[in-house]
Every structure is written in structure tokens, then in C-alpha cells.
Amino acid sequence: MKKVLITGSLGQIGSELTERLRKDLGVKNVISTDIRTIEGSPVVENGQFEELDVTNYDQFLDIAKRYEVDTVIHLAALLSATAEKRPAFAWNLNMTGLMNALEVAREIGPETKFFAPSSIAAYGPDAEPDNTPQDTVMHPTTMYGVTKVSGELLENYYHTKYGVDTRSVRFPGLISYKVEPGGGTTDYAVDIYYEALKNKSYTSFIEKGTYMDMMYMDDAIEGIVKLMNADASRLEHRNSFNITAMSFEPEQIAASIRRRIPDFKLSYDVDPARQGIANSWPNSIDDSDARKEWDFSPSFDLDKMTDEMLERLSAKFK
Ligand code: AKB
């Protein structure tokens, strides 16, 4: 991984990955792209940035060739709740975008390194809900999940057929303070920290007792970097590794917040659409293969993440 093209760079993961890779590889070796420009964003202002619509293959290939990249990190995608509202659009963006990214990787060099995330959404309601194994039935019932499981298969295909060095993880809900996520089912676990600081209360659209896997963004970024630098000979799996840092339900994150804001109140106004999506996902996944094959080891648990989120957000609001 020497010169990297990142798609979806202005998103929740992309903005933090851009910052990290600029530090690791040098500003000249990171080409951040997104469908739009946001004036004033550090991603746009502090390094190389190009507008790119990932469904436009020619534009995608032109940027990859012009900068002579050896790695493609493809993050542009629609998340679960939005994808459920606009399934045809989601299929086109998530699958045409991924297919173009893989074709660009194949075209620029046979051993191009490639990363595109999958998600806990790749599982469906018939998978074991607790400690869901890495390798088991995958019958997602959401459009987002359908694109994720199809994406995993496509990435394996490009690896075995063309030798593209594809690697991937199934991300849980990601929690961060720099850029807010948009259109996900796990977003409640980010919103809750904003509202705790602003109003000392939060109304959750996810029902009490609903467990989902989660992870603090620092661990997610570290995970991507570690997997991309992992020795290929150790990887028995590729697309895609389960990774998780914690599994909790709304009452538990509320209790964690109350350690710092004792009068914090949690109430519920459940959104049937997003609750239905959450119900179709695992409660907790087994990530022992990632730990064994490339030493994945997250460092944030729920309380440590809560402390960090509340501290960072209070500084941001000042
Ligand atoms: C979502 O909620 O859609 C995402 C995910 C778990 O992939 N955060």
C-alpha cells in the first residue's frame, strides 16, 4: 500500500481514513475522492482531492491512472435505512460502484490492493443470532445486506479469477465524533451522545433490548490499516472478516452515559422500519478468525468509548 485512491472520502469512515493515511503514507500518496466537494473540509483542503462519481467507470479509471495508484479503498455506498427507502438506487450505487472499483483495480495492475467494507448486515434472520460464526448461512433480508453479501462474493471472484488483492471486514455500527454517519440503523448509538450533551435526554428509534455489534472509529481505522498490511500468506479468509468491539442495547449505552451525566433520560419512539432491519441482524458476531489471522484487537470498550465521545464532542461544541 504505497499510493491510495479512496472513494467516499467525505463520509464517516473516509474522512478519518484519509487523515490517517496522509500521516502514514504522506499527503502526496493519498488521493481522496467523493461525489461532492465540501469547502472547508480537511479532506478537501489539506491534501489531494478529486470529485468522482463511482458509477462513472471512465472517470474512475482516469483518476486511478493519472495518479498511478497501487491501492483502491472503496467506501462510497448507501447505508441500510436509506437503501431500504431507495432499493433500486442503492443497488446501482453499491453494486455498479463496487464493480467499477474492482474493474479499475484489475485494469491498473494485477496485484492491486483493494479494500471495500462489508457489514453485519450481510447476515439475515436465519443466521445464529449470538456469536454468529464467520462462515455460516447468509440470507440478508435488506437491500443493503443483499448488496453487501453480493459484494463479498464479487471481491472473492476478483481475487481468485484475476489476482486482485481484495481484503474486507464486516463492520458493525461505527461510532465517531468527527463526521456523523447518515442513513444507518446503528446511527442511534452516535446520535445519543450528541443529544446527551445538548439536552440530557434522547428518544431512541431502536427498541430497548435490541443488541447490535458496535465499534469506536479508532479501532475501525486501525483494523483497516492492519488488514491491508497483513501478510497475505496468513489470510485463510479474505472477503470478509467479522470484526467487533462490543455488543450492547440502548439501556446499556444510556447507563454508560449516566456515569458522566447522572440525570440523562432515555425514552423510546421506535421506528418500525429501522427496528425491522435491526431485528434481522445478529446480536453479536464472532470475530475470532480476524484475531487469529491478522491480530485484530480493538482497544475501546463501551465505557472507554463513552468517555472519549463525551469529551471530544464537548470540546467540539465549545
Ligand atoms: C448501518 O447501520 O447501516 C451501518 C452498518 C451496520 O453497516 N452502520
Three-state secondary structure string covering 145-187? HHHHHHHHHHHHHHHHHHCCEEECEEECEEECCCCCCCCCCCC
Residue 240, preceding peptide bond in cis (omega within 30° of 0): yes
Residue 144 is a catalytic residue: yes
Say which of 144, 158, 188, 216 is annotated catalytic.
144
Q: Give residue 67's pLDDT.
A: 97
Ligand 1 atom 4: residue of nearest CA: 184
Q: Is the beta carbon of 278 within 6 A of some atom in ligand 1?
A: no
- Which residue among 185, 242, 284 is best mutated to probe the pocket of ligand 1, counting the most ligand atoms within 8 A of its Cβ? 185
Q: Is the beta carbon of 79 within 6 A of some atom in ligand 1?
A: yes
Q: Give residue 276's pLDDT.
A: 98
pTM above 0.95, yes or no: yes
Q: Is the beta carbon of 176 within 6 A of some atom in ligand 1?
A: no
Q: Is the beta carbon of 171 within 6 A of some atom in ligand 1?
A: yes
DSSP-derived 3-state class of residue 7: strand
With contact defined as beta carbons under 8 Å apart, do 35 and 54 qualify?
Answer: yes
Ligand 1 atom at minimal distance to the Cα of residue 187: 2
Q: Is the beta carbon of 71 within 6 A of some atom in ligand 1?
A: no
With contact defined as beta carbons under 8 Å apart, do 211 and 260 qualify?
Answer: no
Cβ density class 248-266: b for 16+ within 10 Å, e for less: bbbeebbebbeebeeebeb
What CA–CA distance (Å, rounded) separates 22 from 27? 5
Q: How far is the CA of 217 from the centre of ligand 1 (A)?
A: 13
Q: What is the pLDDT along the chain (318 residues), one digit of tens a residue?
A: 999 999 999 999 999 999 999 999 999 999 999 999 999 999 999 999 999 999 999 999 999 999 999 999 999 999 999 999 999 999 999 999 999 999 999 999 878 999 999 999 999 999 999 999 999 999 999 999 999 999 999 999 999 999 999 999 999 999 999 998 889 999 999 999 999 999 999 999 999 999 999 999 999 999 999 999 999 999 999 899 999 999 999 999 999 999 999 999 999 999 999 999 999 999 999 999 999 999 999 999 999 999 999 999 999 988
Q: Give residue 317's pLDDT.
A: 87
Q: Give residue 110's pLDDT.
A: 79
| ipTM reported for the complex, 2 dp | 0.98
Q: Give residue 39's pLDDT.
A: 93
Strand 71-74 to 118-119 pairing:
unpaired
